[in-house]
Amino acid sequence: MLAYVARRLLLAVPTLLAVMTLVFVLVRIVPGDPAQTILGDQASQEALMAMRERLGLNRPLWEQYIDFLRDALSGDWGNSMVTGHPILQEILNVLPYTIDLTVASLIIGALFGIPLGVWSALHRNRLVDYVTRVGSLLGLSFPAFVSAILLLLVFSIELNWFPVISAGDRSSVGEVLENLALPAINLGLIMTAYITRVTRSSMLNVLGEDYIRTAHAKGLPNRAVIWIHALRNALIPVVTVVGLYLGILIGNSVLTEIVFNRPGLGKLIVGALSQRDYTMLQGLMVIYTFIIIIVNLLTDLTYGLIDPRVKYS
Amino acid sequence: MARRPANGQAPAQFALDVRGLTTSFYVGGKWFPAVRDVSFALKRHETLALVGESGCGKSMTAMSIMGLVPKDAGRVKAEAILFEGQDLARASEAKMREVRGDGISMVFQEPMTSLNPVLTIGFQVSEALRHHRGLSRRDAAARALHILDQVKIPSAKSRFNDYPHQFSGGMRQRVMIAMALACQPKILLADEPTTALDVTIQAQILELLRELKRETGMAMIFITHNLGVVAELADRVAVMYAGQIVEIAEVAELFARPTHPYTEALLRSIPRSDRDTAELYTIPGQVPPITRMPPGCKFADRCAYRLDRCQAEEQQLAPLAKAPAHAVRCWRRTEETQPEMVVVDA
């Protein structure tokens, strides 16, 4: 399995290289002069020339490309056009917040979504099933910023249980958790709704399988049939969907981050976009690709834990 | 068929006594019987074959005995299903779970899909032992290994922790049989256990079942549409058509004197290598759908000996005068001399 992981990571290299090349080309064909963007409209001709010289924009394209790759590999991702801070540093500063949030909402989603989905499937077309289905549909269609504001109103302002601004420092675990709670619940609700629906439909499929009939024919108690025989099979499509959704979630958590005033990749992306911070966007695209590759790898490894038919070869 | 005392006790020579079993399904707002008034007794150590076309209710009969008919779709009613002094027709779900896989086991048709793909075969075979016998993980595994050896899984010990997809179809069916026999059941219900297998593998599985039956002394209900298998394996045969038993007899008697026109037609439709026939014989017409069963004889539409009264009144399953153990649901049983078979053009 270690060999499999190593091979997958090795395969990630060409993917990353392709993305970096694409990023390099995209930035060069975007209309407008980066030097002009950095220095503004009032900049003198001399200043522009000097800036181009400093950025290496007047050198041949292939030279620029080699430089770009070399710098990227050595950890020099350039500086933000807006703040002037090193890009890699800015990204690494917010990355832990994003990872916390994603993992926490995944845990909440799995913890509530899987039992709810199973419960709903077992009571198919009865009241609990309808309630769960409507509830999960609401959870999916409810805009994240509305639920975020509602959570803030109730738990931060009325009840005063959690901070209104979740930025906070990361000095202690307690503090991290306190700041994480509401944003994680907010995204966790969506995740729960998602996982509930997938688990329900997948469970219904599995309950009709021959091997479930075999399990009943053995005289096993219902709980053994459901939790040992059915659930593990039902989780296979759940892992697929969650894996796909996680990638989306990392970029889409921006609404939650904005409402809770919490740093994160999503907020960084939106900030860079609105301020035309091209260098920052370059870095974000690369890091985002990397995250997707890792998430896909983890998804594939999870398959192997659930389904013995998956071979790592 | 001879009346048995209706005191709720099965006579001691019976392993299972099914009386008046009717299983209905809810179709388009109404209940329609797929199994109607089926009664038979399975003697101890006996192999009873249930024979008939697809959809004749033979599998559903077995599922009903096991209490495995899905509650939301089907309804099982019976005068009595007597097994070891209990009436399974009136047993609670909890009681049925105690019986299933312990006193009565079942082997299914599809070895490829009937085993759980994410659990090891060792786990799946020892599961029933742990549950019914309360054995520890280790004791159950030891016993399961013994049974896997008994069903002739090669190098069972090293394959104990393998998953179903690592086995061939025939081997998987052996695992299924091992699972069913784990708790040494009194009765094995085998629902077309060889239908999905290659012919050579079929023969091996049949031989295995015969051997295991001899060793364990269990009784078996063998469901099949293959009359060749019946001749090889069964002691008695019940022929089913449209949810009813239309003929039941000892195997030699049935093959020698098929009395119900359907049985006769079934026997005629076995391809034979010793006769020069240009075409295979097929029974004209189709089984009526359960939503449109005729009031009289269900086979009348396809029958070569049909009389007017056949379609009006239902015949009872009753013994032949000269062979009391041979019962038939047709007026022909009363005929002293049976007319020669008339071939009807399809």
pLDDT in tens, A92-117: 988 888 888 889 999 999 999 999 99
Report residue B278's pLDDT band, with 50, 70 and 90 as the boundaries.
Answer: low
Instruction: Output the pLDDT for position B9.
Output: 52
Q: Cα–Cα distance between A180 and A99 in angstroms, integer?
A: 11
Any domain includes A177: yes
User: What percent of chain A clears pLDDT 90, i.e. is strictly above it?
Assistant: 21
Residue B6 has pLDDT above 50, yes or no: no
Q: Do B116 and A309 touch (CB under 8 A)?
A: no
Any domain includes A280: no
Residue B345 has pLDDT above 50, yes or no: no
Residue B126, CA distances (Å) to A23, A67, A97, B166 in order: 57, 64, 47, 18
CA distance B118 to chain A (A): 6
> What is residue B275's three-state secondary structure?
coil
Residue among B65, B109, B114 with most chain A CBs within 10 A, to mutate:
B114
Domain that holds residue A35: 2-72
Report residue B342's pLDDT band, with 50, 70 and 90 as the boundaries.
Answer: very low
Average pLDDT (A296-305) is: 86
User: What percent of chain B clears pLDDT 90, i.e. is strictly above it?
Assistant: 50
Question: Given A217, A228, A307, which is nearest B66 (Cβ)?
Answer: A217
At residue A174's C-alpha, the angle toward residues A168 and A178, to 5°, is 55
Any domain includes A250: yes
CATH number reported for the structural domain that contains residue A135 in this entry: 1.10.3720.10
pLDDT in tens, B106-160: 999 888 899 999 999 999 999 999 999 999 999 999 999 999 998 888 998 999 9
Any domain includes A313: no
Q: Read off the tokens for A181.
A: 């709670």
Query: What letters, b where the CB count within 10 A reaches 16 and e where it falls short, cover A227-241?
Result: ebbbbbbbbbbbbeb
Residue A217 has pLDDT above 90, yes or no: yes
A97 by Cβ neighbours in 10 Å (0-12 / 13-18 / 19+) ranks as buried
Handedness of CA A223, A228, A229, A232 (dihedral sign): positive
Taking Cα atoms as reference points, which of B85, B88, B84, B52 lies closest to residue B69?
B88
A153 and A262 co-located in one domain: yes
Any domain includes A10: yes
B98 reaches A (C-beta below 8 A): yes
Instruction: Output the pLDDT for position B175.
Output: 93
Q: Is A114:A136 a contact under the CB 8 Å cutoff?
A: no
List all residues 6 or more positions away from B151 whose beta carbon is below 8 Å from its beta carbon: B174, B175, B177, B178, B181, B208, B212
Report residue B276's pLDDT band, with 50, 70 and 90 as the boundaries.
Answer: low
A63 and A106 co-located in one domain: no
> A-B interface: how many C-beta pairs under 8 angstroms?
75
Any domain includes A290: no
A208 and A131 co-located in one domain: yes
Q: Read off the tokens for B296.
A: 């009289």
Instruction: Output the pLDDT for position B3.
Output: 45
Residue B82, CA distances (Å) to A188, B9, B19 in order: 54, 7, 8
Q: Read off the tokens for A6.
A: 């190593």
Q: Dihedral angle at the C-alpha atoms of B223, B225, B229, B234, nearest 10 degrees?
A: 40
Of A183-192, A196-205, B67-76, give the range with the top mean pLDDT: A196-205
Q: Is B272:B260 a contact under the CB 8 Å cutoff?
A: no
At residue A110's C-alpha, the angle toward residues A163 and A252, to 5°, is 60
Chain A residues close to B102, C-beta within 8 Å: 219
A57 and A110 co-located in one domain: no
Question: Given A216, A220, A233, which is nearest B118 (Cβ)?
Answer: A233
With CA atoms as reference, the chain A residue closest to B116 would be A211
pLDDT in tens, B23-50: 999 888 889 999 999 999 999 999 999 9
Any domain includes A85: no
Q: ipTM of this complex > 0.85?
A: yes
Residue B233 has pLDDT above 70, yes or no: yes
Lowest pLDDT segment from A50-59, A216-225, A259-268, A292-301: A50-59
Average pLDDT (A51-75) is: 81
A44 and A104 co-located in one domain: no
Taking Cα atoms as reference points, which of B248, B257, B251 lies closest to residue B318?
B248
A65 and A130 co-located in one domain: no
Any domain includes A298: no
- Number of domains forming the structure of chain A: 2
Residue A61 has pLDDT above 50, yes or no: yes
Beta bridge partners of residue B25, listed in sequence order: B32, B74
Q: Do A219 and B68 touch (CB under 8 A)?
A: no
A64 and A141 co-located in one domain: no
A197 and A259 co-located in one domain: yes
Average pLDDT (B58-85) is: 90
Strand B74-77 and strand B14-27: the pairing is antiparallel
Mean pLDDT (chain B) is 86
A141 and A213 co-located in one domain: yes
A121 and A54 co-located in one domain: no
A56 and A199 co-located in one domain: no
Average pLDDT (B194-222) is: 89
Residue B335 has pLDDT above 70, yes or no: no
Q: Cα–Cα distance between B58 and B287 in angstroms, integer?
A: 14
Amino acid at A40: G
Q: Cα–Cα distance between A6 and A54 in angstroms, integer?
A: 39
Question: Given B115, B118, B131, which is nearest A214 (Cβ)?
Answer: B115
B114 reaches A (C-beta below 8 A): yes
A14 and A115 co-located in one domain: no
B91 reaches A (C-beta below 8 A): no
Q: What is the DSSP string of A102-159?
A: HHHHHHHHHHHHHHHHHHHHHTTTSHHHHHHHHHHHHHHHS-HHHHHHHHIIIIIIIS
Taking Cα atoms as reference points, which of A219, A40, A227 lies closest to residue A122?
A227
